[in-house]
Amino acid sequence: AQRVTQPEKLLSVFKGAPVELKCNYSYSGSPELFWYVQYSRQRLQLLLRHISRESIKGFTADLNKGETSFHLKKPFAQEEDSAMYYCALRSDDKIIFGKGTRLHILP
């Protein structure tokens, strides 16, 4: 069965420090993975997807099939990064999410 695991409910990081939000998945096929973000009082929105291999707002995520992981990273946290982050996996037309991690950037 497909599954997305985000082990941390809350992650507090000082401004300027590196950020890593963990995501592990369980999927028998070739996965397509995403990170979504929800800022305060805004709609949930796509941050990045692994097939694009892009950096958005300084965030990157690399798919590691050996470790079945898709961790989200940023070298230097900014206060505006405080938000709820969800990892998602697409299986054909079905898209499932992890439980989310709240990132809190400390001043």
Partner 1 sequence: SQTIHQWPATLVQPVGSPLSLECTVEGTSNPNLYWYRQAAGRGLQLLFYSVGIGQISSEVPQNLSASRPQDRQFILSSKKLLLSDSGFYLCAWSWLGEKLFFGSGTQLSVL
List residues binding partner 1 (CB under 8 A): 6, 9, 34, 36, 43-46, 49, 86, 88, 90, 92-100
CA-based nearest residue to 83, from 21, 5, 3, 24: 21
The residue behind tokens 């963990």 is: 22
Residue 92 or 107: the one with the smaller Cβ distance to partner 1 is 92
The least distance separating partner 1 from the CB of residue 9, rounded to whole angstroms, comes to: 7
The least CB distance from residue 81 to partner 1, in Å, is 19
CB of 91 to partner 1, least distance (A): 9
- Would you say 34 or 70 has its CB closer to partner 1? 34
Residue 52 one-letter amino acid: S
Q: Which residues of 89-103 are buried (b: 16+ CB within 10 A; e: fewer)?
A: bbeeeeeeebebbeb
